[in-house]
Amino acid sequence: MKEKLKVLLIGAAFSADLHMDGYARMLDKVEIVGIADRDLSRVSALADRYGITGYTPYDSFERAIAEAECDLVDICMPNFLHHEIAMLALDKGRHIVCEKPLATTVEDGEEMIATAKKKGLHIYYAEDWLGSPAMNKALNIINSGKLGKLLYVRARECHNGSHSPFAQKIALCGGGCMIHLGVHPVGFMLAMKNNEWDSVVAMTSGGLNNNLKHTSMEGEDFAAAIMRFKDGTFAVMEGNYVTQGGMEDYIDFYCSEGCLHVDLTFSSALRAFSIPGLEYTVEKADITTGWSNPAVDEKYNLGYVAEIAHFVDCAANDSEARIGLRGVDGLEALKVINKIYQSAKEGVLIKNEK
């Protein structure tokens, strides 16, 4: 029998839960050998939630990487730690999964990619939109040509503000809602268009007192970019923290012979009305009273399950991930986000130099 892929999970908070849900669905192929978080109560709570046993808990990622015998290190930690943890794991000869954004700076991201290449290791970039069954169905329909030529895409991820304390400072996060939420539409569009973008222009709310609502947050709470791709397609990509009522992941495709609308968060088969309120409906919905559309299998719908399954298969076969999910795609998304920030700051349209 083929040995199971040994996974060390770094982080035991929100995104670690999203990834663990994926691993827990394929325990015939995967063994969780360790979970690291400085808050050990989160480690045991996460493992218990998914019935994971036989793993080693670590309160330090340095010790976890030094000691755990594993094939894959999965980084679900605050953005500013991605680079440091990735470098330790790559030095140890491990493939890595890295949550978005790849790093907080392009220089750090470039060093990660160069090191992985030098060592013959893979970086898997966790852009969950690309694992979403609805998105993949949408792409199949568009690629079938039955809507005609794709002309324009409007894509956004928006909610009412990050739960993470690390999202408040630019040095820890890399920016505001564009790097934290807009990274999904940007990564998705780049993957769809093979990273072949031509030019971008953007505006953001600017951060702190310039923000629309979150005036203690250093990064912006509203950002939108217009991008033109080399084949002439346009996209508007947006992230904001001023959206109440639950997380919106909307993608609209406008084509010469039709259109297609994707709603990843509210397109549930369920519709409920509750006077006392339900336990949970969708991510970032503060209240659950009255009418709601409770998500049926949120992590599956948002793409985490397929994303993790793809990474497990790739790591087991020592192969590269598909486009959009490779480390280099994470780096391209990070570069574009930096161009978006530059465009907004300088008030200029930026051309792709490549």
Ligand X SMILES: NC(=O)c1ccc[n+]([C@@H]2O[C@H](COP(=O)([O-])OP(=O)(O)OC[C@H]3O[C@@H](n4cnc5c(N)ncnc54)[C@H](O)[C@@H]3O)[C@@H](O)[C@H]2O)c1
Smallest distance, Å, CB 65 to ligand X? 11
Residue placing its CB nearer to ligand X in the complex, 39 or 318? 39
Residue placing its CB nearer to ligand X in the complex, 150 or 177? 177
Q: Which residue reads 């000869």 in tokens?
A: 93
Contact 239, 158 (CB under 8 A): yes
Sign of CA dihedral 86, 22, 3, 44: positive
Smallest distance, Å, CB 5 to ligand X? 21
Residue placing its CB nearer to ligand X in the complex, 63 or 354? 63
Smallest distance, Å, CB 131 to ligand X? 10
Smallest distance, Å, CB 55 to ligand X? 16
Burial class for 54, CB neighbours closer than 10 Å (0-12, 13-18, 19+): exposed
Contact residues for ligand X, defined by CB under 6 A: 11-16, 37-39, 42, 61, 76-79, 99-100, 126, 128, 164, 166
Smallest distance, Å, CB 12 to ligand X? 5
Residue placing its CB nearer to ligand X in the complex, 142 or 159? 159
Contact 82, 166 (CB under 8 A): no
- The closest of 96, 169, 105, 156 to 126, measured between CA atoms, is 96
Measured from the Cβ of residue 194, the count of other Cβ atoms closer than 10 Å reads 13
Give the strand pairing for 197-204 and 222-229. antiparallel
Contact 80, 104 (CB under 8 A): yes
Smallest distance, Å, CB 62 to ligand X? 8
Q: What would the two tokens of residue 174 be?
A: 């890399």
Residue placing its CB nearer to ligand X in the complex, 13 or 242? 13
Q: Give the whole-angstrom CA distance, residue 128 versus residue 30.
A: 19
Residue placing its CB nearer to ligand X in the complex, 81 or 138? 81
Residue placing its CB nearer to ligand X in the complex, 9 or 202? 9
Smallest distance, Å, CB 145 to ligand X? 31
CA angle 212, 218, 220 (to 5 degrees): 40
Q: Which residues pair with 202 in a beta bridge?
A: 225
DSSP element (H, E) containing 281: none
Q: How many helical (H) and strand (E) elements, i.e. helices and strands, does the chain have?
A: 12, 15
Residue placing its CB nearer to ligand X in the complex, 12 or 350? 12
Spatial strand order in the sheet of 123-126: 56-58, 30-36, 5-10, 72-75, 95-99, 123-126
SS3 196: coil
